[in-house]
Amino acid sequence: MLNDPLAAALSKIVNAEKVGKREVLIKPASAILKKILGIMNEHSYLGTFELVEDGKGGIIKLNLLGNINRCGVIKPRFSTKKDNYEKWEKRYLPAKDFGVIIVSTPQGIMTHIEAKEKGMGGKLLAFCY
């Protein structure tokens, strides 16, 4: 039984990228995981992915591009205000404007850049660069 499916999925992606694989299977699939993978796809860290239904929660078949240096979850899920994103960028990203922090806001899951533009705070979920 997995305690944190999101952390398991992101570490599986990073490990597959390190050994040079082009494809990885992630299970179980969840709505949050699909949304985070979609954001990483938009920022060209990952390739396309598709959901394969197996009757046990689903499997995500993900194509890798080799663009991820590091990614992971942020535990505990810190709350942040709209003015404090710079503090978290310094902690989780290697340089300014390099990489993304994925945030859960009242308007949905988005990157910290979008949340700053909309003037919203939220809970920190993951980072990727």
Task: Report the C-alpha gap between 36 and 32 in whole angstroms.
Answer: 6
Owning domain of residue 103:
74-128
pLDDT tens digits, residue range 86-128?
999 999 999 988 999 999 999 999 999 999 999 999 999 999 9
Q: How far is CA 111 from CA 23, 36, 105, in A?
A: 24, 9, 10
Q: Say which DSSP state 75 is in.
A: S
Provide the pLDDT for residue 124.
98
The answer to whether residue 69 is domain-embedded is no
Provide the pLDDT for residue 97.
86
**Structural domain count, the chain:** 2
pLDDT tens digits, residue range 48-63?
999 999 988 899 999 9
Provide the pLDDT for residue 1.
56
Same domain, 48 and 88: no
pLDDT tens digits, residue range 71-88?
999 999 999 999 999 999
Task: Report the C-alpha gap between 128 and 17 in whole angstroms.
Answer: 13
What does DSSP say about strands 59-64 and 108-111: parallel, antiparallel, or unpaired?
Answer: unpaired
The answer to whether residue 25 is domain-embedded is yes
